[in-house]
Chains A and B, each alone.
Chain A
């Protein structure tokens, strides 16, 4: 399967030139980019690990690309995403987020069902790779 979190997951994987263009767009809007990685891409896993803090004040996408290259080198088969953060009053949140690295093989999720009262079912989404210990998942 292919995890489709993040903007652009339905497109062919972005090339580095394309990634850089998106980062430059974000910087031009006044947003700060950050890089996050994980080996547990559960849809409700909000807190991926930060590869350094958001790069506030950076004007050139090349700086973010350098960090991305380093992150990929450290975690070649993790999921890695670029977030762009907007500190404008009333927003103060992420404005763009897209995956820029993913494992070659994505085993995906299983859906567990617990039958409960009446016809109700309690659903649990379980990451197949995440059942292995951290570091041995991909």
Chain B
């Protein structure tokens, strides 16, 4: 690509003469720029309009996500404008796009931002720059924020998860296995009293957690206070019956912050160990609830409701790995991050990339998992990923192989839809889980032997045998939309 053509104009008189310049003439394309340790670095996937070359498009992304406007302004000269300009410094063609493929030519544009551009500890401010105007910008047909490298200096301005994986386990006294949960079904229509029944049956059968669904707030059929009161009766009964700590994620999402605080306070007063919010409440509300949770020893569960509107399509939006990074900074303890094998979107490698972002102390760049950057998390607490949506006991070996121990496995239909009842469904899942962990620790190859290991446990555990029989043929084998761009190429052996 021709880097010298229309390069940055260095003569100040020409540069600031009134009129319109190309973004790269304004200094937003700097192919020689080496990102500093303290820069925020982003990779955007861009699809330029016909006639817009890749470098100009990348420069436009840098410009529109930092200082630029459409025309030259002399007031730049009142500032140390070199610092405030984002710098596009690299453009790569996206593999398998462009002529000869069934997709338009796309590019990865690498853009660096000076730390001075961002308010400390504010995801709202960070996102207003990085995904503000730029995504509606006409010279681009489409743009997607693929990944972000956050400098340690910026990470340290965030408090991160209020509880984190380690402290959650210490509080609950549960070590050495994934946690088990279930979302209460039907999602809508149960009265508070009926709802508490489902909670009780699930927990007493062997689950660690039950969960409100994303759209359970305070509708005519069930006022939130009724749900909380009956729910806590169920939690306490199950705790006494099992001698084991239990919890229910009460969804405290509401119309205003005042409503959310009121609901959170009530959950705390009743002795709940965990509350939940939906992603749709927005970054500011999320950070406020994280602060509240820190002050009140509460685990904060995040349901990523709505994310599919901007994370799923590869050509436009924001990758979920970026959303996961922002949520870890903003401070949530649980985050729905996909199942790979269930009913919702998620290529296995890509989903593992999200899990790494949630749980690593230091995330290594891993293109096959969609991770473009090394990321030092600076000892920020770790987020417990949640696998939820269309999974069942028969997939336990796959889930444990894909995700390891630090995950909440949530079987909603896979618990409540059990032919012998909710308790039996919960027991089937817990037995399947403990059986698989035991076998893995004993050195068995569960990815291969999983089905036989489950069948053997089914011979002494009838609920598990019934679960395996009921869901034996259920899979969701559809091609994923959001897949890795990079696959390993075989090297000829010598």
A residues with CB within 8 A of B: 1, 3-5, 7-12, 14, 18, 21-22, 25, 41-44, 46, 83-84, 89-98, 108-111, 119-123, 125
Contacts and interface: CB of A to CB of B under 8 A. Distances in A.
Interface string B147-158: 000000000000
| Interface class of chain A by DSSP | loop
B455 interface: no
Contact of A22 (B236, B382, B438): B438
Contact of B270 (A21, A44, A120): A120
- Size class of the B contact interface (CB-based, 8 Å): 35 or more
B206 A4 contact: yes
A108 to B, nearest CB: 6
Instruction: Tell me if B's interface is mostly helix, strand, loop or mixed.
Output: helix
A120 B431 contact: no
Contacts of A125: 236, 239-240
Given A90-B382, A97-B176, A120-B269, A1 B460 contact: no
A7 B244 contact: no
B275 to A, nearest CB: 17
B441 A43 contact: no
B176 A7 contact: yes
Contact of B175 (A11, A44, A89, A95): A95
Nearest to B269: A120
Given A11-B435, A21-B442, A96 B175 contact: yes
Contact of A110 (B166, B240, B434, B437): B240
Contacts of A42: 243
B361 interface: yes
B447 interface: no
Contacts of A41: 243
Given A89-B361, A123-B236, A7 B175 contact: yes
Q: Which of A11, A46, A90, A119 has the most CB of B within 10 A?
A: A90
A25 B229 contact: no
B464 to A, nearest CB: 10
B243 A11 contact: no
Contact of B237 (A12, A43, A89, A111): A111
Given A89-B361, A93-B166, A119-B229, A25 B442 contact: yes
Interface of B: 166, 169-170, 173-177, 206, 225, 229, 232-233, 236-237, 239-245, 269-271, 361, 379, 382, 427, 430-431, 434-435, 437-438, 441-443, 460
A46 B173 CA distance: 8
Contacts of A8: 434, 437-438
A111 B176 contact: no
B207 to A, nearest CB: 11
* From B177, B225, B427, B431, residue with most partner A Cβ within 10 Å: B177
B243 A4 contact: yes
A120 B232 CA distance: 10
A60 to B, nearest CB: 16
